[in-house]
Amino acid sequence: MTPMQNSYQRDNFEEREEEEMHLRDYLLIIKKRQMVIITVLGIIFFSTVVATFTATPFFSASSQVLIERNRSNSGLEYQSYSYEPEFLDTQTEIIQSVNVSRKVVDQLKLATSYRQYFIKNEKETFSIFNGLREKFTVVKGMFASFFSSSESTDPAKEKGLIEAMQPKSDAEIIAGIIQARLQVKPLKNTKIVTIAYEDRNPAIAKMVTDAVVQAYIDELLEIKLSTSNYSLKWMNSKAAEERDKLEKSERELQKYMRDNDLVTVENKLTVLPQKLSEVGMQLSKAETEEKELQDLLKQINEVKDNPDRLETIPIFASSEVLKSIRERIYKSNQNIQDLSKKFGRKHPAMVKANDELRILREERRFEIERIVSSVKNSLDLAVSKKKNQDELLSSTKVEVLNLNEKFVQYSIMKREVDSNRLVYDTLQAGIKKEGVTEQSQSVNVWVVKPADFPAAPSKPNKKRNILIGLILGLFSGIGLAFFIEYLDNTIRHPKDLEERFGLTVLGAVEDVRGENREIESFIKKNPLSPLAECYRLIRAGLLLSSAEHPPKTLLITSMEAQDGKTSTTTNLARVLAQGGNSVLVIDCDLRRPRMHSLLGMANDIGLSMFLAGNITTEKIVFKVPDEDISLVPSGPIPPDPAELLGSKRMKELIDAMAERYDFVLLDSPPVQSVTDSLALSQFVAGTVLVIRAGKTTYEVLEGGLKKLRDVNGRVLGFVLNGLKQQDTGKHYYGYSTYYAKDDD
């Protein structure tokens, strides 16, 4: 086989792996495993029928109750109308609780008056489980005591262990029975819950069902009372603690206010920021005034030697006194100018006028000096004022900071007082509310439908159980059949070989069983049987396996021993001879030869002696009596068969026999056991692989094909041997119907 053919077969194999199974494939699996399906179906169905008809009948009584929260309009507590999906589930668990079952036992006195209805039939079963449970508890206690030190022994744990080891009382056993038989089921999209109880006695069933409803109501009331009592106890204790904390915080606040004179702290906090703002404004104003006076004094100092320029400064120009003096000086100057036109300098009038002008200038000088002195005094006053405002601002800031610190501490302490007062008031309100609502129910329960007396048993439901057993048995059998098929990796059908390996299936041989039905001689005695036609089909496949002429030399081998290669070689030689061909069979199995015994020949002289070079070809070929075939026996078993079969002398023998006979068939050892077949596959025109249905696995076959590909052996096809009738189908390689009379 060429590498291209190998690649093509691998591609075909991968494509076929991706194909999906069709419905008919599943039906074939069911048909093939029908005995498994029928067996499982029969076992499960029979067990169901026996269990159903031998079971003790039980009667069921049911009651319906409406359960909802108590949403009162008293206004004492916040009412929430949100959806609560877990509410009914919680109530269901309460109904099925041990406390409710114990209340039923106590109310109806089941442990005394009706003890025989429960203990008589159930005590043995419960005693077995109780015994096992007690033994487990004892063993657990032994291990715990072994691993724990003697110094750390806890008396409470020892007491609990001793109590657990005590046998259960009748009341506890009956409560467990009621709890196990009780069924609680909320109706979908309603607030109604169905409570059902089943018992062998219909009267007991009705009585217990009604008692469960009443016990459930009593249990709710007990839960409410216990919760209220615990809440009141806790709130009273907590209120006392909070009262002490409130009084302590109030005393501390009062002491702090007295020590820090914080009686009018709020008013001071309101006034001080305003005062701080006013002081800041005054300080800013003083700083501005100081700056202005400094600038004015600087300007005066720059022109103090020039009175005329001084008078241009606004403070001097705006002085009324200077303005009057200037007017008088102006008039005096005019007067002097007028007199100078009439009189001389020393004239008394001129002297008087000049004296007046001098006096006026002196007055102006004194006024200027007075204004300058006034500016200096104003500057000193502004500096002093600024200093005072700055000191006042600093003191005000310190006062504000100190007051803020005191107020922060005051706020902290006051907030603690308010918090303690709020907690205390809340607890007091809760205590009053809890005292008012202590006797109210948090859950309302109404009996919508009381329990009726059951007239007929509720179980076992014979029709349903039988139907379930039938369906369960059928599907279990089918599931087991497909599981077995999944685990089965053996080759069972010709179609599997063609789809997976891409090679031709030359034919399939059905399994022959029964007395006097040996496959090696069956077709000789029954030439028209369906089995003979199977081998004729193989013959036809071999004749058409090559385009020019059929292969004359054929190697017939298998993957493992007991696959039927020797019988296949014998029967194939017979059908080839029936077609008028000269056929030679060479027994190449030099390890465990069987061909001579099947054909009734001696094995003293044979192939091994020829390959060893002791005799010629004419002495190893024998005519089979009463048949048109010849045989080369294997001869004595040599020590190294593989070396002999792979020798040049073996190839020469095959070539020589191919010239004398139409077909030369070589029966060789299995491929997976030894390498003899691999060596012989190189000397023949083609190799035929015999596969045992239900025995040869895909992994083994893949490994054998790989070995043949590695030595370039040409595989003509497969012969599926030992095919079971249920694996053949009605349309594939089957001749049973057509040749049934001939077979008989």
pLDDT digits (tens, 9 = 90+) for 681-722: 899 989 999 988 888 888 888 888 888 888 888 888 888 888
CB 624 within 8 A of CB 653: no
CB 192 within 8 A of CB 69: no
For the entire predicted model, the pTM comes to: 0.48
How far apart are the C-alpha atoms of 473 and 476, rounded to whole Å?
5
pLDDT of residue 107: 87
- pLDDT of 320 > 60? The answer is yes
Beta strand ranges found along 348-482 (DSSP E):
443-449
pLDDT of residue 151: 45
What is the Cβ-side half-sphere exposure of residue 340, based on CA atoms within 13 angstroms? 9
How far apart are the C-alpha atoms of 31 and 493, rounded to whole Å?
13
Q: For the chain, count helices (H), then strands (E).
A: 27, 12
Q: Give the model confidence (pLDDT) of 339-351 as tens digits.
A: 888 877 788 888 8
- pLDDT of 306 > 80? The answer is no
How far apart are the C-alpha atoms of 85 and 164, rounded to whole Å?
37
| Residue 670 CB burial class (10 angstroms; 0-12, 13-18, ≥19) | buried
Going by pLDDT thresholds of 50, 70 and 90, the confidence category of residue 77 is very low
Structure-token pair, residue 382? 């502004």
Strand, coil or helix: 634? coil
Question: To 10 degrees, what angle do helices 698-710 and 494-501 make?
Answer: 50
- pLDDT of 179 > 60? The answer is yes
pLDDT of residue 43: 93
Strand, coil or helix: 109? coil
pLDDT of residue 20: 59
How far apart are the C-alpha atoms of 363 and 68, rounded to whole Å?
113
Of the ranges 333-342, 465-474, 486-495, 669-678, the best mean pLDDT one: 465-474
- pLDDT of 228 > 80? The answer is no
- pLDDT of 236 > 80? The answer is no
pLDDT of residue 160: 56
Averaged pLDDT for residues 138-157: 52
pLDDT of residue 245: 82
DSSP tag of 166: S
Query: Domains in the chain and their CATH numbers?
Result: 4-13+489-743 (3.40.50.300), 265-436 (1.10.287)
DSSP tag of 114: T
Of the ranges 362-366, 406-410, 486-490, 553-557, the best mean pLDDT one: 553-557
Averaged pLDDT for residues 145-163: 53
| Residue 696 CB burial class (10 angstroms; 0-12, 13-18, ≥19) | buried
- pLDDT of 207 > 70? The answer is yes
- The per-residue pLDDT of the chain, averaged, comes to 78
Averaged pLDDT for residues 59-82: 67
DSSP tag of 617: G
pLDDT of residue 521: 60
Dihedral sign, Cα of residue 514, residue 515, residue 518, residue 521:
negative
